[in-house]
């Protein structure tokens, strides 16, 4: 993917960023003259990928990790955009919603231009490349829309290029957005039939979107859409989620969990889609994947200044010690090779993006991809969709979740002599709907630590308030409200476009309370975030770090 990325930055010079939804390249006075060869089309789609570089490893990570229960910021709690997210005190001026909105619409703008130009019969691009590149662009447009519809709710839906494409664009119903997302992904899957799996690309093209990636994202989108208020034909959407998950081929779980973040395994067999980084890239000034910088900013110093850190040690303590994901996801202690001193961190660091061979270098430059979609996610999506569709798990649901669990404990087909749990204990069985729901939600927590999944999960399960209110660490419980089911539309965007009404509950909003504020979102006791109230109360009452030390 280095080739893709080096060309992507050249493409960025041709696709101008916009403060408002002006979805046209500034220098596109003669757009028809640009796409005159296969190389032009490939260069252009590389520019569509480029929007991932800033958004995925910083913007999305900060939004959906810091605003969840398990992660906090080391910034001054009452100051800075990160600190405000961490304490759930953000507003429409916070920089991270601003960048999330802008970066994703920037990618959408580039995709729109490319898709429209390739549809022009006079464009001199071969049919083979036209088909592939169109598939890539539609997948990426769908992914960008999927990100922002979950973050903001109703959003402008602009799928055409042109000088006035985004002028005074109004926010569209979320279900219209989801319909466009699924239409794009289906088209992408059809256009990418020559590349059914990530492995079907040549070495120089590793990291591009495959048909299986489109199927995997379709499975996830349909599950989320089915769980969205006002969705019609919920069972049909759950059926589609299951069906598309079963179409994902050519990928499998890594035998060892941490292999997904091994610097020598950037395009491993479990990866379906990732943001691709190289050290020479700029990503918020630190180069490469910024997640590595956030994970080990303080290196061997045990203080509270890292940008992103676990909210409380009890999140680490929730893991079974036999589960390899515990040590693969968290760094609880580390020995400094320079002086042999061992640091025992009060609040564990996030191990997934720390290079075990050179931890200090992790804080600055690391040539590592940022995970977006991997096969474990598809398996758990399938298991959840089956349970929701039929009101109980079946054999396919058990096999999907148990495959993930067997890998976690190195047993069954993943046995390598290091497994420590009996297979019968690892494999789930004999659960009703409620029991399987609880187990599934726990499993997603264990599996996706620091992978920008938690906030999305809590929102779609409709338990965000209840979950965060039970976590006193980092002052998270003091400010959470129903409005936090969505992020505020950036004030700067509303200043530019008077048609963009503000989300309910934020300053300047005149919107009535929408469905996500309904009290039904927080119903139930034992089927919320995967832990019973008694288990969660332990977390609430046993804060590892005194509040006075969190400032």
Residues 80-93: what's their mean pLDDT?
Answer: 90
Share of the chain above pLDDT 90, in %: 61
- pLDDT class for 121, splitting at 50, 70, 90? confident
Structure tokens given for 108: 């959408």
Where is pLDDT greater, at 484 or 535? Answer: 484
Residue 255 counted as domain residue: no
- The per-residue b/e assignment along 528-549, b for 16 or more CB within 10 angstroms, e otherwise, is bbbbeeeebeebbeebbeeeee
Q: What is the pLDDT of residue 237?
A: 98
Supply the mean pLDDT for the chain: 85
112 backbone dihedrals φ, ψ, rounded to 5°: -60, -45
Q: What is the pLDDT of residue 168?
A: 83
Q: What is the pLDDT of residue 161?
A: 86
Q: For position 107, which CATH number holds?
A: 1.25.40.390
**DSSP state for residue 513 in the 8-state scheme:** P
Residue 539 counted as domain residue: no
Residue 198 counted as domain residue: yes
| Nearest to 178, CA basis, from 229, 109, 212 | 229
- pTM for this entry: 0.90
- pLDDT class for 220, splitting at 50, 70, 90? very high
Render pLDDT for 41-60 as a digit per residue (tens, 0 to 9): 999 999 999 888 878 888 89
Q: What is the pLDDT of residue 3?
A: 39
Residue 543 counted as domain residue: no
Residue 22 counted as domain residue: yes
Residues 97-107: what's their mean pLDDT?
Answer: 94
Residues 499-504: what's their mean pLDDT?
Answer: 94
Residue 344 counted as domain residue: no
Q: What is the pLDDT of residue 14?
A: 36
Render pLDDT for 125-158 as a digit per residue (tens, 0 to 9): 999 999 999 999 999 999 999 999 999 999 999 9
Q: Check whether 518 has a pLDDT greater than 80.
A: no
Q: Check whether 519 has a pLDDT greater than 70.
A: no
Domain, as residue range, for 40: 2-244
Q: What is the pLDDT of residue 26?
A: 32
Q: Tokens 């959407």 appear where?
A: 237
**Count: domains in the chain:** 1
Work out the number of other CB atoms within 10 angstroms of the CB of residue 9. Answer: 15
Q: In whole angstroms, give the CA distance from residue 316 to residue 334.
A: 16
Q: Check whether 219 has a pLDDT greater than 70.
A: yes
Residue 337 counted as domain residue: no
Residues 321-325: what's their mean pLDDT?
Answer: 95
Q: Check whether 501 has a pLDDT greater than 70.
A: yes
DSSP class per residue in 289-326: -HHHHHHTTTTT--SS--SSEES-HHHHHTS-TT-HHH
Residues 8-13: what's their mean pLDDT?
Answer: 36
Q: Check whether 24 has a pLDDT greater than 60.
A: no
First-to-last C-alpha distance (Å) of the chain: 41
Span of 194-203, 219-228, 534-543 with lowest mean pLDDT: 534-543
Residues 94/87, Cβ–Cβ less than 8 Å: no
Render pLDDT for 352-388 as a digit per residue (tens, 0 to 9): 998 888 888 887 767 788 999 999 999 999 999 999 9
DSSP class per residue in 36-80: -SHHHHHHHHHHHHTHHHHIIIIIHHIIIIITSSSEE--S-TTSS
Span of 35-39, 233-237, 451-455, 488-492 with lowest mean pLDDT: 35-39
Render pLDDT for 248-299 as a digit per residue (tens, 0 to 9): 999 999 999 999 999 889 899 999 999 988 766 555 545 578 888 888 888 8
Q: What is the pLDDT of residue 547?
A: 27
Residue 212 counted as domain residue: yes
Q: What is the pLDDT of residue 277?
A: 82
Share of the chain above pLDDT 70, in %: 83
Q: Check whether 525 has a pLDDT greater than 70.
A: no
DSSP class per residue in 476-502: GGGT--GGGGSPPPPHHHHHH-TT-PP
Q: What is the pLDDT of residue 123?
A: 85
Render pLDDT for 168-207 as a digit per residue (tens, 0 to 9): 899 999 999 999 999 999 999 999 999 999 999 999 899 9
**DSSP state for residue 228 in the 8-state scheme:** S
Contacts of 525 (CB under 8 A, 6+ apart): 532, 533
Q: In whole angstroms, give the CA distance from residue 337 to residue 146.
A: 43
Q: Check whether 459 has a pLDDT greater than 90.
A: yes
Q: What is the pLDDT of residue 2?
A: 43
């Amino acid at each position: 993917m280095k080739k893709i990325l080096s060309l992507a930055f050249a493409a960025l010079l041709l696709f101008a960023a916009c403060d408002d939804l002006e979805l046209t390249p500034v220098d596109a006075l003669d757009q028809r003259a640009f796409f005159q060869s296969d190389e032009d089309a490939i260069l252009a789609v590389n520019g569509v990928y480029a929007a991932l570089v800033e958004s995925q490893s910083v913007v999305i990570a900060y939004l959906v990790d810091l605003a969840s229960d398990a992660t906090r910021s080391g910034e001054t709690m009452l100051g800075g955009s990160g600190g405000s997210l961490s304490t759930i005190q953000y507003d429409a001026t916070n920089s991270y919603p601003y960048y999330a909105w802008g970066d994703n619409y920037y990618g959408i703008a580039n995709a729109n231009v490319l898709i429209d130009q390739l549809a022009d019969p006079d464009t001199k691009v071969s049919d083979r490349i036209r088909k592939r590149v169109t598939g890539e662009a539609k997948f990426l447009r769908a992914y960008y829309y999927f990100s922002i519809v979950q973050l903001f709710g109703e959003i402008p839906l602009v799928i055409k290029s042109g000088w006035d494409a985004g002028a005074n664009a109004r926010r569209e119903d979320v279900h219209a957005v989801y319909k466009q997302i699924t239409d794009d992904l289906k088209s992408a899957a059809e256009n990418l039939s020559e590349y059914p799996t990530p492995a079907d690309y040549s070495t120089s093209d590793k990291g591009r979107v495959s048909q299986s990636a489109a199927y995997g994202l379709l499975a996830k989108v349909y599950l989320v859409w089915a769980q969205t208020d006002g969705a019609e034909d919920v069972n049909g959407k759950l059926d589609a989620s299951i069906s598309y998950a079963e179409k994902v081929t050519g990928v499998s779980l890594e035998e060892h969990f941490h292999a997904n973040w091994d610097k020598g395994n950037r395009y491993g067999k479990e990866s379906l889609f990732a943001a691709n980084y190289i050290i020479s890239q700029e990503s918020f000034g630190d180069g490469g994947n910024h997640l590595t910088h956030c994970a080990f900013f303080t290196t061997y110093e045990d203080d509270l200044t890292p940008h992103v850190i676990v909210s409380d040690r009890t999140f680490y303590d929730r893991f079974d010690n036999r589960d390899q994901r515990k040590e693969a996801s968290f760094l609880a202690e580390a020995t400094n090779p320079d002086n042999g001193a061992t640091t025992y961190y009060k609040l564990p660091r996030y191990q997934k993006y720390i290079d075990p061979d050179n931890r200090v270098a992790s804080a600055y430059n690391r040539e590592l991809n940022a995970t977006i979609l991997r096969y474990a996610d598809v398996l758990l999506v399938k298991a959840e969709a089956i349970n929701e569709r039929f009101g109980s798990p079946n054999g396919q649901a058990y096999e999907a979740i148990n495959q993930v669990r067997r890998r976690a404990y190195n047993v069954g087909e993943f046995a390598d002599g290091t497994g420590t749990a009996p297979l019968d204990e690892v494999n789930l069985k004999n659960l009703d709907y409620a029991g399987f729901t609880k187990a599934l939600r726990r499993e997603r927590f264990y599996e996706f630590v620091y992978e920008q999944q938690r906030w999305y999960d809590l929102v779609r399960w409709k338990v965000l308030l209840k979950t965060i209110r039970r976590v006193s660490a980092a002052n998270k419980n003091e400010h959470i409200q129903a409005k936090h089911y969505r992020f505020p539309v950036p004030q700067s965007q509303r200043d530019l476009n008077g048609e963009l009404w503000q989300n309910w509950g934020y300053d300047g909003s005149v919107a009535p309370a929408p469905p996500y504020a309904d009290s039904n979102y927080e119903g139930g006791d034992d089927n919320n975030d995967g832990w019973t109230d008694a288990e969660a109360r332990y977390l609430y009452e046993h804060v590892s770090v005194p509040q006075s030390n969190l400032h």
